[in-house]
Amino acid sequence: MRRRKTAVAGGCCLAFLLGTLLNLLFIPGSEHPPPPRRELPPSSPPGAPLDPPEEEIGGVRAALARQIRQRYEEVLRYRQHRAAPAAASAGRRPLRPRERRLMDLAPPRTSAEQPGPRGRAAAGPGAGAWAELSLEPPLLGCRDIRDVGGVQYLGSGYTKAVYKAVLNRTLAVALKAVDFGGHDIAHCVRQFSALGDCYRLAAYKIVKEMILLQRLRHDNVLQLYGYCYQDSNDIPDTLTTITELGSPLEMIQLLQTSWEDRFRICLSLVRLLHYLAHSPLGSVTLLDFRPRQFVIVDGELKVTDLDDASVEESSCTSNSDCFMEFPARNFTLPCSVEGRCQSMNEKRNLYNAYRFFFTYLLPHSAPPSLRPLLDKIVNATGELHWGIDETAAQLERVLNLYKSGEYLQNTTWVPKAEYRRVPEAHIPDENYRCWPSYHHKGCLLSVFDVNEAIEICDSYSQCKAFVLTNQTTWTGRQLVFFKMASNHIVPDPDKITYVKVTD
């Protein structure tokens, strides 16, 4: 038995040795060496992958070309309805002298899409599309930003970088351009190794935003002043837009401001959303709805980032297709007989306004008599029981109650003290702090009339006097300084002082 096992083991070892010898004698690599490893071209960025096979190159180029064309066609849809249809060159409208065909208009087809040389003025998708993206003559152009001063980097997102600049030493503007170090460009170059085409893909988002800024004319949409083409990073005709300059929206700072200013932000937002729901383009939704997409200009909220806006209403066959998902709530909207989710764009905007703005800014430190109505507005939008029309109407009602002083008529306040009126007088010191206040070192509040000022002074134990100024807020309400004493009163023709004489 032991001899048989030894013979079997010996046979296995002999077969293994014979197989190894045959592999060494007849290995095919000795006659046909493998193809050499191809080196990266000199223009490839450091760390770029090796060149793919030719058939893969064609597929990659075609994929990038398709993305560019899709982006172009998206831009065209926002502009197309403004231009008269043209089926032949004879019917094309001439460009005005200063009018520029953006991005050389239709993206040229690459060799992956069709044979032949690339042309900078290649035709777009469909006859007559060559002039569809042209904008109105800009108020400002390259000549105006050639010698700008005070250029300051403000920030950047996935696609754009934003800078502050001062024109002619007087006009402060925002300059927006594709960020070559941003996510969109970096991701595209890693995938396609084509900086020029990747720039074109990203720049179409700026073109889309330019068109929307011109089409959506509203007090709460940032103004487009102009644009400029200039060579940059070895890419011809890179695009820079020139827009109105606003201050970033800082929610922490907003929470420390007066209720009146916070209400103004919410009212501005609702007026904007009401306009977007009934805009010339149809119902517009802001897909990237965050506070950083807005700025404040002279106290008014304005949307500044529109490259992710959309007018596409979701199609559906049943209500289950109209599902909106948010971090804390989900909603299912009705599917219309036309196969569209009813008011989805409007309701998406409205709920985002509720979760980012209304819950934080509307109810806190509001006048007590207005809080029931404000709570009703917050709850109705949080449950999407109201649309934007009703929400806008209710906020306008709050504004009217506040400006007219009607919100004071339902109070049962009785004065606790008597006050002596001192005309043309002011108390320069004797400040105390209150929250929220228009002045960080004193208690400066807005009032509808003297009676409201007396009521406020009565509510603060440290208040012994107040000074009516000649300054007013955006609602026309008068600004009043509340003081902790009246030991030093000085003449001032623009102010009136009230001193508490009894407690």
Token pair for 62: 């075609």
In angstroms, the CA 92 to CA 251 distance is 49
Q: Which two tokens stand for residue 246?
A: 């606003």
Q: Where are the alpha helices (DSSP H) in 310-387?
A: 344-353, 359-361, 371-382
Length of the chain counted residue by residue: 503
Residues 6 or more apart in contact with residue 479 via CB below 8 angstroms: 438, 444, 445, 446, 469, 471, 472, 473
Looking at residue 313, what DSSP letter applies? P
Clarify whether 288 is annotated catalytic: yes
Pairing assessment for the beta strands 171-178 and 235-244 based on DSSP bridges? antiparallel
β partners of residue 149: 166
What ranges make up the beta strands (E) of 47-134? Answer: none
Judge contact between 280 and 258, C-beta under 8 A. no
Tell which residue, 410, 376, 416, 409, has the closest CA to residue 393: 376
Residue 335 DSSP code = B
d(CA 129, CA 80): 9
Tokens of 85: 């249809």
Q: Which of 261, 288, 308, 321 is catalytic?
A: 288
The separation between the first and the last C-alpha atoms of the chain, rounded to the nearest angstrom, is 120
Instruction: Identify the residue whose tokens are 């030991």.
Output: 487
Phi-psi region of 81 (alpha: psi -120 to 50; beta: other; left: phi over 0): alpha
Active centre residues (catalytic): 288
